[in-house]
């Protein structure tokens, strides 16, 4: 009787858990396991020679560096956008809120072509930056711009619900007690949004690492300069060198897992710290 009383009152746990495990196994775990299996047949020396070649190392630095920088910028821009959409009422707010989701619906290749046309030296924005000596298209800066474009909605959509649930009366109470705007932000708003901002950062970073379509157009794909890791994987696949492709993918997978795990642990630690 005691065991029955401790069971959850919500029915269907066994079925829901079974479907979840089956889904993760078929669509996530089994496909990812093939990467390890294909790489295992390479041999350590062959694997190491592939992943440490100058071209691959340069692609790793560009992919991880650009994704990290873009995710940081996305965190700031996403918070500002979420704050404006949540705290202010203005004409066109609904349209702006819909535009935030545009990178989700827009094909990445279309986004890449559009960004390249805009930021090229003769483009709408590129023509204004060119006299200043700033080149965006076909440079690493262009990669960052493309990753910012595809990553900022993740931050907005994770921070926006938290700001909507945050009662403005808490800020008003802090101000009536003599707190400045900066102190109110640090003591009232920041503890509530830090976990969601970290979540948005992790999502934007992960999206940036795997982004392909929007980057290959604006980057120029110059080896050792503007070539990203996903492009090298596609190149190896087109050359039917599947083991080299899986070796490059394995390094990205493991590094991404470690980074995302660290971010999740930091998120939990931050949530516990601010809760105390």
Render pLDDT for 13-59 as a digit per residue (tens, 0 to 9). 778 888 888 888 888 888 888 888 888 888 889 899 999 999 999 99
- Is the pLDDT at 100 greater than 80? The verdict is yes
Name the nearest CA neighbour of 114 among 102, 101, 129, 96: 102
Render pLDDT for 118-151 as a digit per residue (tens, 0 to 9). 999 999 999 999 999 999 999 999 999 999 999 9
- Alpha carbons within 13 angstroms on the beta-carbon side of residue 200 total 30
Quote the pLDDT of residue 10: 65
- Alpha carbons within 13 angstroms on the beta-carbon side of residue 119 total 26
Render pLDDT for 181-229 as a digit per residue (tens, 0 to 9). 888 888 888 888 888 898 899 999 989 998 998 999 999 899 999 999 9
Quote the pLDDT of residue 41: 82
pLDDT band at 274, cuts 50/70/90? low
CA dihedral 7, 12, 17, 22 (to 10 degrees): 160
181 dihedral zone (left: phi>0; alpha: psi -120 to 50; beta)? alpha
């Amino acid at each position: 009787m005691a065991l029955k009383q401790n069971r959850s009152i919500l029915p269907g746990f066994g079925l829901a858990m079974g479907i979840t495990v089956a889904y993760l196994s078929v669509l996530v775990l089994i496909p990812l396991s093939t990467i390890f299996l294909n790489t295992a047949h390479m041999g350590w020396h062959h694997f190491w020679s592939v992943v440490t070649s100058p071209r691959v190392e340069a692609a790793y630095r560009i992919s991880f560096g650009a994704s990290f920088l873009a995710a940081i910028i996305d965190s700031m821009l996403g918070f500002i956008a979420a704050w404006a959409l949540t705290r202010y009422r203005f004409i066109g707010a609904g349209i702006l809120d819909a535009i935030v989701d545009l990178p989700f619906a827009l094909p990445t290749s279309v986004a890449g072509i559009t960004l390249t046309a805009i930021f090229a030296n003769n483009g709408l924005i590129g023509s204004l930056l060119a006299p200043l000596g700033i080149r965006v298209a076909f440079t690493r800066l262009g990669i960052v711009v493309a990753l910012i474009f595809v990553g900022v909605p993740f931050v907005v959509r994770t921070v926006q619900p938290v700001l909507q649930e945050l009662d403005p009366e808490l800020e008003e109470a802090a101000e009536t007690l003599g707190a400045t705007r900066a102190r109110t932000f640090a003591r009232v708003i920041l503890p509530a949004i830090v976990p969601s901002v970290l979540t948005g950062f992790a999502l934007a970073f992960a999206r940036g690492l795997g982004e392909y379509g929007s980057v290959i157009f604006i980057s120029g794909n110059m080896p050792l300069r503007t070539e990203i890791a996903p492009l090298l994987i596609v190149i190896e696949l087109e050359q039917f060198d599947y083991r080299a492709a899986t070796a490059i993918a394995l390094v990205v997978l493991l590094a991404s897992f470690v980074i995302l795990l660290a971010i999740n642990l930091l998120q939990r630690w931050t949530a516990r710290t601010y809760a105390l």
